[in-house]
Structure 1
Amino acid sequence: MPKAEGKLSDEGPLLIFGCGFSGEAIAAQANGKFNAVFGTTRSRANAARISHAGAKPLVFDGKALSPRLIAALADTTHLVISVAPGEEGDPVLNAFDSAAIELPALKWIGYLSTVGVYGNHDGAWVDEETQPRPVSKRSHQRLVAETGWSDFAETRGVPLAVFRLSGIYGPGRNAFINIEKGTARRLVKPGQVFNRVHRDDIASAVLLAAQKNADGIFNITDDEPAAPQDVVTFAHQLAGIAPPPVTDFVTAELSPMARSFYGENKRVSNAKSKAELGVAYAFPDYRTALRRMWQDGSWKPR
């Protein structure tokens, strides 16, 4: 995958709000490219994990900015937001407003959103020009947060890259883990497809955008939207295990959240991320990804 050469910023650090599953990958690839990399967590118990990823841990409780966090933000040139909004809005924006934060050194913002903002398109292709029409509450909240960050960036005169991500997978979160746990299912809803994206491809895209001070919306997703049962079947073939029986979506027992995912059916284009950011996806489809992860063992938790 493409990685920026040298430092992306000679003036200040990268700060990742929400250094979780995707944030860790961003921190790992950013290490050595910035003067410093910071990552926030809600609990000090996660500090070792964040340090291992190459970031300096800072606690953000989702409400108030600590003195240490405010001090780091004063020098931050590149800001990545990977925190989900809630009923009360985006917690980072709310905290910034409460603290009247100024961010004097800020040059660029990256916001991790979701392709869920597009809603359902009955299997048709969507791209960044497609009008959002979110269905679920969480996708509505994401779209509101996108607008909030757009206003924030415009007010401060800095570019904002919004990354709309498809279903995220990687070490410890993939079809092989479901096999190991005995929770794999081949759920079939005719015509249903999903896009996916490996967290390392997210990290590559974010850092390429940071290097370019990119502005705009970018779908970060694989090349091949595919039926979920095909992914499950292929993973079992690689593992040398018979796949579970097919289950009809209509009669399947599912949580309301799980069922809601199947209410959105679309094919998401990543052409803009390739053309404007130069992203070369290391995991362009589920077969390439699963085969590689099985062979090198990177499906296991790290």
Structure 2
Amino acid sequence: MARLVLFGPGYTGARIAAAVDARGWTVDRVSRMTPAATVGDWLRQATHIVSTVPPGADGDPVLDAYHDAIGGVGWIGYLSSTGVYGDTQGAWVDESAALAGRRGGRVAADLAWQAIGARIFRLPGIYGPGRTAIERLRAGQAHRIDLPGQVFCRIHVDDIVRGVLAASDRGPAGVYNLTDDLPAAQNDVVEYGCQLLGLPVPPLRTLDQLDLSPAARAFYSENRRVANGRAKRLLGWRPLYPTYREGLASVVSE
């Protein structure tokens, strides 16, 4: 029987756990409070591992604690970030692109998981129920930013789950970009959300006019389009929400 040890049962991890539980798998959920001895026992019984835990300033906490035990498991998955590609000034990148940019810890963790034979799922901005422009618009917290030409990809949380499940069924270890099919400006997303809700669009503002965190400002400093063809070819994966339009419409209908 398949047994998954899941590190990080948060927003995305909880959905992965629910999906494999529906397949009849045993799921062991590792949180910060789980004793190391218990985790070690689970890893000795595991057939699959997935980590959604981001790296810290001093390295990847999961690998730092359990590297040797994880390396002995047959199927390993790690949720990384398309931020490892850095700013491409809007150019397309695929899994063969050099790793660069401001996320040094992310790059190091990505490479470390690759070294032990993991399936690396590089993800852009994650959205889904409770985490979309729809909720921000309803709360009066959405904004449009005056950044002509700035685009990026996104991925619905359920399409991440579909990608992880597809990779558990077929395809070699390696790197897979799980992104939607339509890189777009954040303004496009907000404006479409307004159309769905029948709301006026928020005013256009500059970055300096908005009280953004340093992380948010850094996010808007990058501009890239990420190709997802490898996951489609090797995993047979297809996004259920190929663009933000289907994703936002599903949130409104729910």
TM-score by length of 2: 0.94
Per the alignment, residue 38 of structure 2 pairs with 68
Q: 1:185-200 counterparts in 2 under 5 A?
A: 185-200=143-158
Matched letter for residue 239 of structure 1:
L
**Gaps (5+ residues) in structure 1?**
1-9, 43-58, 154-158, 298-302
Verify the 8 A CA contact 2:143 2:190 in the aligned structure 1.
yes
Report the Cα offset of residue 34 of structure 1: 4.6
Find the aligned partners of 1:78 and 1:219 in 2 and give their Cα distance: 20
Number of aligned residues: 254
Per the alignment, residue 133 of structure 1 pairs with 100
Per the alignment, residue 107 of structure 1 pairs with 74
Q: 1:17-36 counterparts in 2 under 5 A?
A: 17-36=7-26
Verify the 8 A CA contact 1:74 1:103 in the aligned structure 2.
no
Find the aligned partners of 1:176 and 1:189 in 2 and give their Cα distance: 21
Find the aligned partners of 1:225 and 1:102 in 2 and give their Cα distance: 35
Verify the 8 A CA contact 1:194 1:225 in the aligned structure 2.
yes
Per the alignment, residue 216 of structure 1 pairs with 174
Cα-to-partner distance string for 1:253-302 (whole Å, 9 max, x where unaligned):
4221111001110001111111111111101001111112211x2xxxxx
2:239 paired with 1:287: no
Per the alignment, residue 144 of structure 1 pairs with 108
Per the alignment, residue 79 of structure 1 pairs with 49
Cα-to-partner distance string for 1:173-216 (whole Å, 9 max, x where unaligned):
11111112221101120100010000100001011111226311
Matched letter for residue 110 of structure 1:
G
Per the alignment, residue 41 of structure 1 pairs with 31
Verify the 8 A CA contact 2:54 2:106 in the aligned structure 1.
yes
Q: Alignment partner of 1:190: what SS?
A: coil
Per the alignment, residue 5 of structure 1 pairs with none
2:85 paired with 1:118: yes
Cα-to-partner distance string for 1:110-166 (whole Å, 9 max, x where unaligned):
01000000000110101011111122xxx2111101222223x2xxxxx42101001
Cα-to-partner distance string for 1:211-266 (whole Å, 9 max, x where unaligned):
22631110000000001111001101111111211112354442211110011100
Q: Which moved more, 1:140-149 or 1:224-233?
A: 140-149
2:191 paired with 1:233: yes
Find the aligned partners of 1:103 and 1:228 in 2 and give their Cα distance: 39
Find the aligned partners of 2:70 and 2:94 in 1 and give their Cα distance: 34
Find the aligned partners of 1:67 and 1:213 in 2 and give their Cα distance: 32
Per the alignment, residue 66 of structure 2 pairs with 96
Q: Alignment partner of 1:214: what SS?
A: coil
Find the aligned partners of 2:97 and 2:200 in 1 and give their Cα distance: 40
Report the Cα offset of residue 17 of structure 1: 0.3
Give the 4+ runs in structure 1 shifted more than 3 A: 100-104, 249-253
Identity over aligned pairs, percent: 41
Per the alignment, residue 16 of structure 1 pairs with 6
In 2 relative to 1, CA 281–185 (structure 1 residues): closer, same or farther, beyond 3 Å?
Answer: same
Q: Alignment partner of 1:31: what SS?
A: helix
Report the Cα offset of residue 94 of structure 1: 1.1
Q: 1:173 aligns with which of 115, 120, 131?
A: 131
- In angstroms, what is the RMSD of aligned CA positions? 1.7
Find the aligned partners of 1:101 and 1:264 in 2 and give their Cα distance: 36
